[in-house]
Structures are given as C-alpha cells and as structure tokens.
Amino acid sequence: MRPDIVIVMTDQQRVGLTRRSGYPVDTMPFVDGLAERGTDFRNAYTAAPACVPARTSLLTGRFPSVHQVRQNSNAQHASYQQDLLDVLRAADYQLHFAGKPHMHRGAQDFDTFAGPYFHTQGPERNAAEHAFDDWLERLDHGVADEPTPHPVETQLPYRITTDALRAVHDADPDRPGLFWVSYPEPHNPYQVPQPYFDLVRPEDVPDRTTGPEATEIKGGSYAWLRRLQEDKRPGYDDNWRRYTANYLGMLRLLDDQIRRLHDGLARRNRPRLTIVLADHGDYVGEYGLQRKGAGLSEFLMRIPLIVTGDGIEGQRRDEPVSIVDVLPTVCEAVGRPIPDGVQGRSLLPLAHGEEAPPEEFQSIVAEQGFGGRAYDVTARPPLHFGYDGPTFDELNTVTQSGAARMLRSGNWKLVVHADLRGELYDLDTDPAELANLFDDDAHLAVRARLLHQLARWQARLTDDLPNGNYTSLRLPHNWRWAPKENHHEHV
C-alpha cells in the first residue's frame, strides 16, 4: 500500500533550540519524540535563506540558480519539468494543503486548499479570529512584551491545524494523499499567548553566541542591516531576551499543534511517510539581529529535517543534506521516477539505515543573492519600503544583492562571492563565523580542497532542461556516486 505523504513545514525555525539538540529549554517535546523514533538529519541545509526560493527548491528538487526563483517576489518564474505535485498527481495521490503557501503553486493545484495564511492574517471564520488578525497586523512584525490578549484557538497554527484535520477527515480513505501543512510560525511577529508566554522568563534565556558588535566585524550586509534596524527602531536589540523567550514559546505552541495534527492523521488506516522541516532559520538575537536577511550564517542556513514512517530507522545522521533532497526522497517512497532536471538526491536509503557513499555526502551547498554585485555598507538605494518610520523588511535590495555560494564540509564552511572577499571558517572553534581564515597561509590547503569541492558542485548544478536528444546516465537515488561495490564503474 502506498504511503500517505505528510510534510510539516515551519517558517524561520532555527536549529538547536530543542532539548534533544542540547538546548536547556524543552521547547518541542513531541517533535523531539518524532526525531527519536525516526531519522534526524542533523546537518540539513536550506537551499537559500529566504522563503520563496527555499520552498521552490523543496517543490522542484532544484537549486535557486536553476529554478530561477532567487527572491521572494518572483515565485511565478519557477523553472522545472515536474515538481512534487506533478509527481504525486501522476501517482494518483489526492493533494491537500493548509497554511502559508509562498510558492509557485496555488489553490487550483490542490484538491483542498486552506489558506492562504501569512504572518498576520488568514481565512477568518468568526469575530475572534478577525480581532486577533487585526491585533497581529498592528504589531508590525515586532515583539510583544505582554502575553497575546487572544486565545490559543485564534492563533494561526491552531486554525491551520483545524483546517488540515478537516481535510484529513474528508479525504478518500482508499487513495493515498499528500497532506502538506505549512505553519507561518515561528516567523515574526514574535508573540505568543499564555501558557506559552511563560515557558521561560527573559532573564532565564540562555546567553547568545555573540551580540551587535559582531555586525561590524562581519561588515557588509550584516552591518547595513543592523544600522537600518537601529535607525528605524532605536534600542532594537535591548529586548532580545524577551524576543527570544517569545520565540521559544512559539516553538512550544507549534509543537502542541503538530502533536494534534499527528493524532488526527493516525485515524487514516494507511502507512505514512512524514517529513518535518523548516524553510530556513532565524538569527534569534545573534549578531544583535532578529529575523533573517544578511549573509549565509549557520543560524540561517541549517534547518531541522526529520523523516519518520514505516521502515524508517530511529537514528541520527550526520551527512550534510539539503531541502532539495525532499522531492527525490518522496519520488522513491511512492515508486515514481525522479523528474529530469532534479538536482537533489533521495535520502530514503539513508533513512532506512543504509551506508551512504562518502563522496556523495561529504559536502552540501547553498546560494544567496541576485544582480551579481553587492551594495556597499553605506548604500541608500530605493527600497520597497521607506527609510522613515519603524516598518522594514530585512529581505531587500541591499541585503539580497550580490551573488554568493556556500559549502559546508565537515567542520569547515566556505563562502565565495562574485565581487567580495571569500570567507572560510572553522565552525568547531568559531560557530558565529567571525574569524575569517580565507587568506590565512596556514589554511591554504583547506581552502584549496573546499574550493575544489565547490567547483565540482557548480559543475553538478548546471541545468539539463529543456531536454534534447541525449539520454542522461543516472544512478539510483539520483546519486552521482555509486555505492562502494559499483564505484569502479564511475570513477
């Protein structure tokens, strides 16, 4: 029997803030339990630290430079042959969506579509939900210093889960289904009602790795964004502990709704493959920044990625993997070929406990930027919001300018820019990426090795679409490297 495919996606969830990952606050006990019973990919990465490029990569299995959606404003330009919905529709799956879309697909592409929900509003069924959405809008993506004066039932995750459970109840029990539930939280605005507001007191929030002084060390878009935020909201960083406490409370609220969703899905008498992940991370106060926007730091790039289901091993995997690997994994789980032009790799063998070819999973890449050239830290170009007043969008003309590629391999992180100095960090000793070793003579050999790995990835990420007369040679799982016993055929 073909499994239901369940995708639970959060928005802007930072890795490392659950008890299972070593954090002292127990933010997501249910999701931690899923990770314990399933495969926890501890080095999973987004393809880009912005919603629409990352979600397009999930749907298409392609990196942003190839699917061509490199900013939040051009989802309609996605380039691909078949995406996740095409694959599942061809396999006779019913398609159900609830939550925040922010993607190139719309309501017409699903059998049921509950939304769109965004960060300050969603479909409203009663006066209480309308009152909450109005209050949320007036918060202006800020930080609430008091518990949200509206009940949990009006919160967007609760409403989205209710909508998803209605689809589960009404779905055809004799056909497999995709149930994609996409939560806007823990993305800003940072607010949460009781009892979540008191999950942790601000004074008990663990210390951060580094503060606002780090933005001047980082320079570039980090310093520009910090200065913009301080100009618009003086003292912006002073309440970082309250903001972090709210963020942690939002994680617990999400955890309760994911538990509620899971309980409802159990009523379907079918096997199930569940993938829990985020589109990208959040600074959560690091560098004196909130939200996202500047650079390719680990705080933004790493994402939670958990796979559970029949035959899935309870294990932690350390291989670097990507959000682009979701589509090939689903293809293999439902017995459909991986579409042409897909660059991701199926993770199903890894989730089943099989050994991974070291060459295939020794590194991973990600991307950011558009336009080629990066704006200077003193730039003041026209933006899609004004320089006056408190309202701002951290994703803008300046912070998203340039062209950057990152590579993670072991404890090393490499970032190469089109027109800026390169970056090289030892994440074991420098998790905030402040000591740039790119030009350090003692690390020339490391730099050369990582540059070679990045060059091989760049060769790999060329676009094979549209199809011509040639037939591609593919290995199983869309791996470029065969398992050891077959490796001699492809050296």
Quickly list DSSP for 244-306: HHHHHHHHHHHHHHHHHHHHHHTTS-S-EEEEEEES----TTGGG--S--SS--HHHHEE-EE
pLDDT at 484: 64
Q: How confident is the model at residue 491 (pLDDT cuts 50, 70, 90)?
A: very low
| Cβ contact 81:92 at 8 Å | no
The mean pLDDT value for 160-171 works out to: 98
Kindly give the pairing relationship between strand 423-426 and strand 412-417.
Answer: antiparallel
Is the confidence at residue 361, as pLDDT, over 90? yes
pLDDT at 485: 52
C-alpha–C-alpha distance, residues 458 and 414, integer Å: 14
Find out whether the peptide bond into 101 is cis, omega within 30 degrees of 0. Answer: no
The mean pLDDT value for 73-87 works out to: 96
The mean pLDDT value for 449-470 works out to: 95
Q: What does the pLDDT look like over 249-281, one tens digit per residue? A: 999 999 999 999 999 999 999 999 999 999 999
User: Average pLDDT over the chain, rounded to whole?
Assistant: 96
pLDDT at 371: 87
Is the confidence at residue 104, as pLDDT, over 50? yes
The mean pLDDT value for 302-319 works out to: 97
C-alpha–C-alpha distance, residues 49 and 51, integer Å: 7
pLDDT at 481: 85
C-alpha–C-alpha distance, residues 396 and 42, integer Å: 30
Q: What does the pLDDT look like over 480-490, one tens digit per residue? A: 887 665 444 43
pLDDT at 482: 75
| Cβ atoms < 10 Å from Cβ of 346 | 23
pLDDT at 489: 40
* Residues ≥6 apart with Cβ < 8 Å to 262: 30, 34, 274
| Cβ contact 178:96 at 8 Å | yes
Is the confidence at residue 363, as pLDDT, over 50? yes
How far CA 201 is from CA of 20, 146, 242, 249, in Å, comes to 20, 12, 8, 10
C-alpha–C-alpha distance, residues 316 and 306, integer Å: 9
Return left, alpha or beta for 455; rule: phi > 0 is left, psi -120 to 50 is alpha, else beta. alpha
Which residue in the block uniquely carries the two structure tokens 């078949």? 82
Q: Torsion angle, CA of 379/382/388/391, rounded to 10 degrees?
A: -100
Is the confidence at residue 191, as pLDDT, over 90? yes
* Residues ≥6 apart with Cβ < 8 Å to 424: 412, 413, 414, 415, 436, 437, 438, 440, 443, 446, 447, 450
* Residues ≥6 apart with Cβ < 8 Å to 471: none
Spell out the alpha helix ranges (H) of 306-402.
Answer: 326-334, 348-351
Q: Which of 254, 85, 106, 263 is nearest to 169 (CA)?
A: 263
C-alpha–C-alpha distance, residues 163 and 160, integer Å: 5
Residue type, 204: D
Q: What's the pTM value of the predicted model, to 2 decimals?
A: 0.97
The tokens of 269 are what? 């008498």
pLDDT at 488: 40
The tokens of 285 are what? 């106060």
